Amino acid sequence: EPLPEPEELWGKTQLPTLGPAVEKGVLGNGLTYFVQENREPKDRAALFLVVGFGSLVEEEHERGIAHIIEHLGFSATKDYQNHEIVKFLESIGAPFGACQNAYTTFDRTVYTLHIPTDKEGLWGEALRVLREFAFFTRISEEDLEKERKVVLEEWRESRSAQGRLFEQYITALCRGSKWGERLPIGKEDVIRNVTAQTLRDFYSRYYHPARMALIAVGDFDGAAVVQSVKDLFGLAPEEIQPLSRTPMPPERPRHAVPDSDGVTVTSSTDRELSFAQGMVDCKRPKQDLKSVEHFRKRMTEDLFHKVLGTRLLKLTIEPKGPRNFFMVSTETGNPIPPLNTMNITMAPLPGRMRQAIRGIAEEIERVKRFGFHEAEVDRAKRTMLADYEQEYIERDQRPSESFAEEYVSYFLDDMPAPGIAQRAAVVATIMPSISSSDIANVAQDFHFGQNVVVKLATPPLSLWNPLYTLWSVFQACWNLMFPRPKQDLPDSAEVAEILRGVNNAEALDPWPADADDVDSRLRKKFEACESARQQANTQKPVVGVEASGVLRDKVAPGVPKPKRSSGVDLSTETKETLPIGQELFLPNGMRVFLKDTDLFEDEIVLRARRWGGLSEYQGTNPFNKGIVTTEAQVCSMAAAMLGVCGMQVEDLQECLEGKRLEPNPPSMDTYMTGLDAAASPVDLETLLLLLHLMFLCPVDATAQSRTRTSLVKLSLLAARLAENRDPMAQFQKRLQRCISQNHPFVRAPTLWSILRLNFKTVSNIFNDSLKMPCEWTVVLVGRLPPPEKLTPLLHKYLGSIPNLCGNAQPERRSEIAMRESVKPVDIHFPTKSVKEDVKLNMIDPKGSTVLCFPIQLTAVAEAGNAASARAELAELFRLRILVRMLETRLVEVLRFNKGQVYTVSCGDDMSTSPPALGKARKGTLSIGFECDPAEADELVDVALSELDKLRDGSTAFTVANVEAAVMQERREFEECFQKNDWWAGTIQDLYFSRCQAVTEDIGASMSLWWQVRSEVVSGFSTDIAWQTLLAVLPPSAPSAVVAMRPKGAKSGKADNKATKQD
């Protein structure tokens, strides 16, 4: 419906509260339900149980029990014993894992199930599981004891530098209210000692149906789901047994956050913190979002942050004076439900905290005085409208989970959840009414005189961090300041004085207007490359390929076509012989593959790749032999900062405002260089133009200012120093050193190599990867234009790129020749089992353990031998299923039986395996978990013992294990099959796979891949699982066990003397 006129009536016009597609109801016991039919993803549903209470209602002796109860629901209930709920989820292929199925916050506990709906009874069984969570969680002393250590491990994981910083931030922001005293993770002593009776009392008091909502969104019969909800969840509160509820439900607390007096600063040091960080919050109560005028105000604030963010990016890269920060941004924050703060987040350079605060405050003051330019505002509006337009175009493809999350906010936070079409109509009407002065006036909400909370944190300047301390002292001396030996953090009075000084400053100039026409920049760049394009027209034909520029269908027998309108049966091969797409070779030798789909109306995904990666840039002299040069390791990041497409990064960003596309510069892995991008169909031509400019406009380090290059070095130095402070980063480095026997290829850049970084070499490495378009393969998947429109665009932008090979005739080598030209990395796993304890200084002791094993495939793909490629593919698919089974088995043993870990991860890595045909693929299989450091050895023995039992047959994989792993594989594949990025990635992977080198046809490779996968998945059994395990991990295989432990005794909490609360 059209909004009323005049605009003065918008304050009285309520936003649509719920979209027309959802059915809302309230049962007799007070439980609210939301049910909506939605076909995206196909044959899937999102089921949420929302409980309107979290940690905020806990008493001091209960801190953390809301979260413990959430855990216990998956352990046992009235009708499900011994983690049978988890086994049910695994059996239907639904995801289960850390933070995947439930979460607890201050004011809510939400259980989430993501289930298939293509089989009779699945969603009904899932609803019964949610009913068990709601009414019948079993809370016995035995259940609690088994889950304590799991919860303790999750608590231990939260005690990182960022976790401590968040706790200090919330405490400072909410001082004087219960919000700052009830972090959901709880307290260690409560987790260790709370009784089951305390949990039962909490559960029966707060898990009341009148304070719950059941949300079901998915591909099902909505009327049938509504009836099931009524049948399953309609119990009267007093009839729920054994833990009955009172007839009167408890009230949800509405704790207000008191105002802060003036400017309040809380500062701290943490020697594990990666970077100095600052957060400035101008506190405001939660802003209503019920009327059209409220929505207009929120849109105006979002536009303000977009426009200011563009300015701040320019100041970060090219400051007008001394550099103050690595990053700075503003937003309308919602750190806790009762607050909507005007937030500033920044990462200042060492020793520049005061200057950083002054710098961002000056930019906000500049907006207060002079406002924004119309051109800036126009670009921000176009960007926001583009986002809403994409949402509207893909309104029928919005995932069910997104709707479900909206209904959670509607139920608990009184947030409207209008339909997409309703929201689009409101935006289209409101946007023209928002003026540049309206947007600039948002700056007034940054009121720095009252109710301001500032949280500052930095690594300490001390002998614990000698390099960071030296850097900070250098920064201070460089800027004629006296370095402070302990910490460089201002107090409340000093910050208040800085902010007052900005308000009273006289020497502020208006922000300069655009120096050119932003909208014409890309076109002018394209025109400037005309001479380079003429070179392509005069080049000799590319050797090794028939570059006719004609589209050719690529047929893949047995591979079905993805369809959005109807599901596709992936359990059997299709009898049709359908083209999976079209391939063409452009005149310059570039290979392009096109696959038109209707999966998403507003999406085209691009993947591009060539052979040649980091292995080509290993040192050769005795001092750096095998070490990848720092210039190669950082070239993608450095090139982006120096400017790709012939433009500086901030100028390019301005050109792309209002367009729906996501470009990225090429990046290198071990053996390949690739780039990923995505665009709306309406912006596909712009994306192709960017690729054109990326090839034709080389990065020129000599044309860049010293300020810009210094930012690259400073960022790299800061990241490298942060690794030295972060225990997990140090642990990962030691792990790689151990399993590679300290191979030089895995070494990170040294501080000295970063200081000596040669930007000309960086540019040359980046530019060399783009010199020869005949080496590249580009894959486009999505809502493509018709061939008669798309083909000319491909010739115009991609086919006109010349091969920069001098007078030589360009050549596109065969798949085998390109593979054999790549320099292999020869990394060997230790020949004997090793065990290494990595002892580190930690503030909060924690343990992380990784078990690694060498793996080598027995089947080897050989040139011209399709059977060998088939055998190698089959072994890879069997390995993938085996890894799933090992992870599930070890979760069952270490978490469910032992109760000593939060989760277990298993994975394989063959990224450094030599690419040439005829050589066995090799890599590592790793098993990782985090636990109490004192229990690491015990759990390692249990894990190794379980592997030994599986290998010698004293215990075996069960049929249920196999069926669960196969079902998870199938369900995951079904969802991937309906996504453009999966198709683009899979086709690109196949182009660079060994089977492509054998078949030399992408259709044949895809068909072979599909057939082998289907055969392996359908035929996988307990015997095959055992044989695969023995082949991959024979009993004689060595192992490497690397465990992170705290050095010595507990090294103490964050230094209380280094924490100030004014």
For 55-98, the DSSP string reads GGG--GGGTTHHHHHHHHHHH-BSS--TTHHHHHHHHTT---ST
Whole-Å CA distances, 409 to 108, 402, 421: 10, 11, 19
Confidence grade of residue 579 (pLDDT, cut at 50, 70, 90): confident
Q: Which whole number is the average pLDDT over 231-237?
A: 96
Q: How many CA atoms lie within 13 A of 210 on its CB side?
A: 15
- Omega into 663 within 30° of 0, i.e. cis? no
Look-up of token digits 């300047």: 461
pLDDT of residue 479: 47
Q: Which whole number is the average pLDDT over 126-153?
A: 95
Confidence grade of residue 402 (pLDDT, cut at 50, 70, 90): very high
Q: Which of 463-467, 604-608, 848-852, 958-962 has the lowest mean pLDDT?
A: 463-467
Residue 701 phi/psi, 5° resolution? -70, -30
Give the percent of the chain with pLDDT over 90: 81
Confidence grade of residue 676 (pLDDT, cut at 50, 70, 90): very high
> What span, in angstroms and rounded, lies between the C-alpha atoms of 535 and 815?
27
Q: Which whole number is the average pLDDT over 590-612?
A: 96
pLDDT of residue 708: 87
pLDDT of residue 3: 66
Tell me the three state secondary structure of residue 967.
helix
pLDDT tens digits for range 936-954: 999 999 999 999 999 999 9
pLDDT of 916 strictly over 60: yes
pLDDT of residue 486: 46
522-528: long-range contacts, CB 8 A cutoff, minimum separation 24:
522/655, 522/686, 522/689, 522/690, 522/693, 525/645, 525/646, 525/647, 525/693, 525/697, 526/689, 526/692, 526/693, 528/646
pLDDT of 1055 strictly over 50: no
Residue 23 phi/psi, 5° resolution? -105, 120
Tokens found for residue 38: 């939605």
Strand order across the 341-348 sheet: 325-333, 341-348, 277-282, 452-458, 263-269, 1060-1061
Confidence grade of residue 474 (pLDDT, cut at 50, 70, 90): low
pLDDT of residue 839: 94
pLDDT of 245 strictly over 80: yes
Contact in structure between 615 and 824 (CB atoms under 8 Å): yes
Closest CA to 348 of 495, 452, 510, 451: 495
pLDDT, greater one: 266 or 8: 266
Closest CA to 322 of 274, 346, 358, 364: 358
Whole-Å CA distances, 362 to 226, 281, 443: 56, 16, 11
pLDDT of residue 443: 97
Task: Give the DSSP H/E element, type plus range, for residue 380.
Answer: helix 374-393
Tokens found for residue 812: 């596109």
Neighbouring CB atoms inside 10 A of 1010's CB total 20
pLDDT tens digits for range 1002-1037: 999 999 999 999 999 999 999 999 999 999 999 999
pLDDT tens digits for range 210-226: 999 999 999 999 999 99
How do the residues of the chain divide into helix, strand and coil, expressed in percent and rounded to 5? 45, 15, 35
Tell me the three state secondary structure of residue 402.
helix
Q: Which whole number is the average pLDDT over 225-232?
A: 97
Residue type, 27: L
Confidence grade of residue 772 (pLDDT, cut at 50, 70, 90): very high
pLDDT of residue 705: 78
Residue type, 503: N
pLDDT of residue 466: 59
pLDDT tens digits for range 837-874: 999 999 999 999 999 999 999 999 999 999 999 999 99
Closest CA to 857 of 905, 925, 907: 925
Whole-Å CA distances, 310 to 57, 112, 179, 303, 1020: 42, 37, 34, 11, 54
Q: Which whole number is the average pLDDT over 23-47?
A: 96
pLDDT of residue 544: 87
pLDDT of 1056 strictly over 50: no
First-to-last alpha carbon distance for the chain, in angstroms, is 53
Q: Which of 361-370, 383-392, 528-537, 562-571 has the lowest mean pLDDT?
A: 562-571
Q: Which of 105-109, 604-608, 635-639, 704-708 has the lowest mean pLDDT?
A: 704-708
pLDDT of residue 1061: 35
DSSP assignment, residue 14?
B
> What span, in angstroms and rounded, lies between the C-alpha atoms of 279 and 771?
44
> What span, in angstroms and rounded, lies between the C-alpha atoms of 761 and 497?
46
Residue 578's Cβ-count burial label (10 Å; 0-12, 13-18, 19+) is middle
pLDDT of 462 strictly over 90: no
Give the percent of the chain with pLDDT over 70: 94
Q: Which whole number is the average pLDDT over 15-43?
A: 95
Contact in structure between 600 and 981 (CB atoms under 8 Å): no
> What span, in angstroms and rounded, lies between the C-alpha atoms of 458 and 464?
13
Confidence grade of residue 423 (pLDDT, cut at 50, 70, 90): very high
pLDDT of residue 469: 56
> What span, in angstroms and rounded, lies between the C-alpha atoms of 887 and 968?
12
